[in-house]
Chain A
Amino acid sequence: MLTPDELAAVRTSLSVAALALAVGLPLAAAAAWMLARGRFFGKSVVDALVHLPLVLPPVVVGYLLLLAFGVQGPAGRVLNDLFGARLVFSTAGAALAAGVMAFPLMVRTLRLAFEAMDPGLDVAARSLGAGPWDRFFSLSLPLATPGLVAAAIIGFAACLGEFGAVITFAANVPGQTQTLPLAIYAALQSPGGDATAMKLAGVSFAIALVALVASEALTRRAYRMTGR
């Protein structure tokens, strides 16, 4: 069915998306919480910064990441010196690029979920002796579960489909950074790659379908869990 190279592209895609979600979703939740509930100086700047990847061309985002996290970049040098880690040309780098692009979509979804919560419940929890962290984990987060599920699905889909930022920052290395869209692109560039491109497009379609069905089931469960 699939050749080892094609299988590698599927595996890379899934691990890039999973890694980007594992790191990105908690950060997105924190950012969404700050934007939804926080009152601090420079909130509009943070808001704009979070949304930047949504309005910039993906290639520009990849280039900016290269400037910051490249071997010569300030953040890249720190990572290299401290951990001997290089993000460029690595799966982690592809995940970083995909995650940054998916970040604003996840933050927007989660922010809506946090803002939908009745602030009266928070007052009730306070009067019952719950401090701020306690209230976040016992109330806000569980009540935002449907939003969390939606953000995860949207983030996963965005990471699977990301092309410009990944190819610019992490390049197109088979088995490392070559995700499905990059593999399809590479196949189309090579003579006689049409069949491979078609197969990989079919695989992309199947993954998307599974994700959609899973999200439906998960969302329904989440709503039941939150008592609605």
Chain B
Amino acid sequence: MLQLSIAKRLGDFALSAAFEAPADGVTVLFGASGAGKSTLLACIAGASVPDHGRIVLNGRVLFDAAARTDVPMERRRIGWVFQDARLFPHMTVAANLGYGARRGPGQAGITLAEVAHVLGIEGLLGRRPRDLSGGERQRVGLGRALLSQPDLLLMDEPLGALDAPRKAEILPFIARLKATFGLPILYVTHSLAEAVRLGDRMVVLDQGKVIADGPLAQIVGRPDLPLVSGRSEAGTVLEAAVMAADPARGLTRLRVGAWEIAVPATAAAEGEAVRLFVLARDVMLALDKPLRISARNVLSGVVRALDSQSAGSVLVTIEQAGVRLLASLTPDAVTDLGLQPGTPVWAVLKSVAIEGFGGGLLAALDGEA
């Protein structure tokens, strides 16, 4: 577990952040560029010295301004995956992977064979970095960090320098990583798609301050957070369970709370948990149950909140059995329907993106920001 509470001033910019990241799972550090994500990461890694505060990893004090403790970066045992991979150009892929392993704490918890397999880089070991594609470089960089047997993995916009197809190529590897190695990951991004795809918890940073911190589905669904909702990609993350496959009709039925949602047939097995993302602008609301309609998912709910957005739209939160869903409406539609907290409505989902299959999330979200 990572516990931190630090403050640092850089000219006019002041970073002041406190949060905890659990001992496993992915904590997404989310924020626009200039929000202080990189500075925060540099402080955790030891590349930058905070003015005040404490950083503790698994009970080991890495930094404590009051006690004048500042463990040097090379002894923090924190793996760092960079946006630009930073492979050593004069070494082969195998030597790059071994660099951290040879200097690590010794006990080999994560083996080369395992890493090479999970990241699909077995065939690259003899090559030089200049002969690798951007996506391959990023995978090798990831493997190199893992093999140094870190206590925490920092990923600094690892997909930032890649185009959309390369992103779709890498994402499954990072998702597998999370499932294979019980390692806490701090994932920095300003892409909601990546956050939704990989994150368990989310820490939202704005102008150097933590403005939200909690389970990802809760944070993403909060209409009051300008970073998440002030864009066309506002939406809801839904944790669903597979109920049944319906191959005859080409559908898979999922359950989310009291709702039943049908998505195009997927490979997920019955009972398996999947994550859905529904863009607020893909949700229509109706006062009467729409009949004879092409949309497959029509859900009943009650309006809980209405939040006017700067962009001239209104985010309507509807709820059923404790599960919330956001819909983006024009102010005119809200007035016309007379929507108020407590109004029962029907939500029509125009499309649902499902994690892990066909890059639906990326396709739905990428390039929309």
Q: Which residues of A contact B (CB under 8 A)?
A: 118, 120-121, 123-131, 134, 138-139, 142-143, 145, 225-228
Contacts and interface: CB of A to CB of B under 8 A. Distances in A.
Given A126-B74, A128-B148, A129-B100, A227 B89 contact: yes
Given A123-B86, A126-B46, A128-B144, 14 more contacts: A121-B88, A123-B80, A124-B88, A127-B47, A127-B73, A127-B78, A127-B148, A128-B79, A128-B99, A128-B100, A128-B145, A227-B90, A227-B129, A228-B130
A130 B76 CA distance: 11
A123 B47 contact: yes
B218 to A, nearest CB: 32
B126 to A, nearest CB: 13
Contact of B128 (A131, A138, A227): A227
Q: Which 5 A-B pairs have the closest CB atoms?
A: A227-B89, A128-B100, A129-B103, A127-B80, A124-B86
A123 B84 CA distance: 12
A128 B149 CA distance: 9
B75 interface: yes
Nearest to B150: A127
Contact of A120 (B77, B86, B91): B86
B150 to A, nearest CB: 8
B138 to A, nearest CB: 13
A62 to B, nearest CB: 40
B145 A143 contact: no
Interface string B59-78: 00000000000001111111
Given A120-B84, A126-B73, A128-B148, A226 B103 contact: no
Given A129-B104, A225-B90, A227-B90, A124 B129 contact: no
Contacts of B76: 127
B99 A125 contact: yes
Nearest to A127: B80
Interface string B129-140: 110000000000
- Binding site of A, secondary structure by majority: helix, strand, loop or mixed? helix
B346 interface: no
Contact of B130 (A121, A127, A227): A227
A125 B87 CA distance: 9
Given A134-B103, A143-B90, A227-B130, A129 B82 contact: no
Contacts of B144: 128
Given A125-B99, A127-B145, A227-B129, A139 B88 contact: yes
Most buried by B among A124, A134, A139, A228: A124
B147 to A, nearest CB: 9
A128 B128 CA distance: 19
A129 B75 contact: yes
Contacts of A128: 74, 79, 99-100, 103-104, 144-145, 148
B45 interface: yes
Contact of B74 (A120, A131, A138, A142): A131
Nearest to A143: B90
Contacts of A127: 45, 47, 73-74, 76, 78-80, 145, 148
B82 A124 contact: yes
B23 to A, nearest CB: 20
B89 A143 contact: yes
28 contacts: A120-B84, A120-B86, A121-B86, A121-B88, A123-B80, A124-B82, A125-B88, A126-B46, A126-B47, A126-B72, A126-B73, A127-B76, A127-B79, A127-B80, A127-B145, A128-B74, A128-B104, A128-B144, A129-B74, A129-B148, A134-B103, A138-B99, A143-B90, A226-B89, A227-B89, A227-B90, A227-B128, A227-B129
A123 B129 CA distance: 18
Nearest to B92: A227
B66 to A, nearest CB: 25
Contacts of A123: 47, 73, 80, 86
